[in-house]
Amino acid sequence: MISPKDFIKKRILIVGSNGMLGQRLTEYFLAKEEVELLASSAEDESFIPGVAFRKIDITHKEEVKKIINDFYPDVIINTAAYTNVDGCESNRELAWGVNVTGVANLTHYAWACDAHMIHISSDYVFDGENGPYTENDMVHPVSYYGRTKLASENTLRGSGVFGTIIRTNVLYGPAKYGRPDFVKWVVNSLREGKTIRIVTDQINNPTYIDDLVSAILRIVDYTKEGLYHIGGKEFLSRFDFTLRIADFFGLDKNLILPIKTAELNQAAKRPLKSGLITLKAESELGYSPREIEETFQLMKIELNL
C-alpha cells in the first residue's frame, strides 16, 4: 500500500553522480526519507552502493529524454562536466558536447516536466585580471573550457527552465572514489617524498565540497533561482594553500617548489587573480563556509589521512 507521505516525496535526479560533488550529494540525499533519488553517470555502475542508478550519456538526447521522462524529477542537479582544462583545447568537440550540448539536452526535458535545474559552473568564465568576482562582474573566459562553461550558463538561462547556476572554484574534500582532489594529491605526494611544483600566481578561495553541498541543499529547500557564487572563506595563492596543507599534516615543505603559471607551458590559459565573492549566497542562503584547517581536520578523520 502506498502511504500518504509517498505523494510528497521530492524526486531528485543527480547527473554526474560518480564525480566528486555527485558522490557527496548522492550520499546525502540517499539518507533522506523525504527524497526519492535517482543517480546517473557515464559509468556502468554507481560508486555509491545502495542507490537507484542509471547510466547516461548526456550528449545523447534520446538517453536524456528517457531517463527524465521515466523518472519525472522535481529537481535535476547537473554536476557532469568535461573539466580537463588543457584537454578542452585539443578535444573541443567532446568538451562542447558534454558541457554545452549535454546541458541543452537536460534543459529541454527539464522544461517538459517543470523541473528545477541546478547547474554547476566555474570561475573560469572570468579572465582572472581583477578578481575576486561577484555575480554582477563582467564575464570573459580565456580558455575553451571557460567558454564552454559560459555557454552552458547561457543555455540554461535561455531555456525557460526554472534554473539555478552555481559558480565554484578549486573544489576539494572527502570524496572516496575517483581521482584524488588537490589536498589528497598534495598529501600523498609529500608523504611519498615527491617534489611538487606549485604556482604562486593563481589566487582563489578553495571550496570545501561539503560547504558546496550545503549551499545546494538550501537552494533546493528554498527553491532559489538565479546565479550564486560559492567558494571558501579565504583567498590565497595555490602555493600558500599547499603550504597550509603541509603544515596541518606535518609534511616536508621543502618538497614544495614555487613556480609561475607561465613556466608550466600549459595548453590553456588560466585566470590568475580569481576567486568568488560569496556575499549573495551568505545573505540569501545563509551560506557559511568553514575555516580551512577545520576542513582539513574533517578530511583527516573521514579519510584517515
> What digits encode the pLDDT tens for the residues 286-303?
999 999 999 999 999 999
Residue 66 belongs to some domain of the structure: yes
Per the structure block, which three cell numbers stand in for 112?
A: 517538459
Name the amino acid, one letter, at 142.
Answer: V
CB-count exposure of residue 175 (10 Å: 0-12, 13-18, 19+): buried
**pLDDT tens for each residue of 165-188:** 999 999 999 999 999 999 999 999
| Residue 218's pLDDT band (cuts 50, 70, 90) | very high
Look up residue 130 and give its DSSP letter: S
Residue 99 belongs to some domain of the structure: yes
Region 268-281 average pLDDT: 98
Phi/psi of residue 167, each to 5°? Answer: -95, 135
Look up residue 125 and give its DSSP letter: G
pLDDT at 9: 87
| Residue 94's pLDDT band (cuts 50, 70, 90) | very high
- pLDDT of 208 higher than 70: yes
**pLDDT tens for each residue of 43-89:** 999 999 999 999 999 999 999 999 999 999 999 999 999 999 999 99
**Torsion-angle region of 73 (φ positive above 0: left; ψ -120 to 50: alpha; else: beta):** beta
Non-local (6+) Cβ contacts of 81 within 8 A are 16, 19, 98, 99, 120, 149
Q: Which helix (H) or strand (E) holds 237?
A: strand 236-237
State the pTM of this model: 0.95
Residue 260 belongs to some domain of the structure: no
Residue 304 belongs to some domain of the structure: no
Residue 131 belongs to some domain of the structure: yes
State how many domains the chain has: 1
Q: Facing residues of 258 across strands?
A: 198
- pLDDT of 35 higher than 50: yes
Per the structure block, which three cell numbers stand in for 291?
A: 575555516
- pLDDT of 8 higher than 80: no
Residue 258 belongs to some domain of the structure: no
Are 168 and 149 within 8 A, CB to CB?
A: no
Q: What is the CATH number of the domain that holds 137?
A: 3.40.50.720
Q: How many Å apart are CA 137 and CA 152, to the nearest integer?
A: 18
Instruction: Look at the block and give the residue holding cell 576542513.
Output: 295
Non-local (6+) Cβ contacts of 28 within 8 A are 213, 217
Q: Residue 218: which domain range?
A: 9-178+205-234+274-289
Residue 239 belongs to some domain of the structure: no
Instruction: Look at the block and give the residue holding cell 582539513.
Output: 296
- pLDDT of 6 higher than 90: no
Residue 184 belongs to some domain of the structure: no
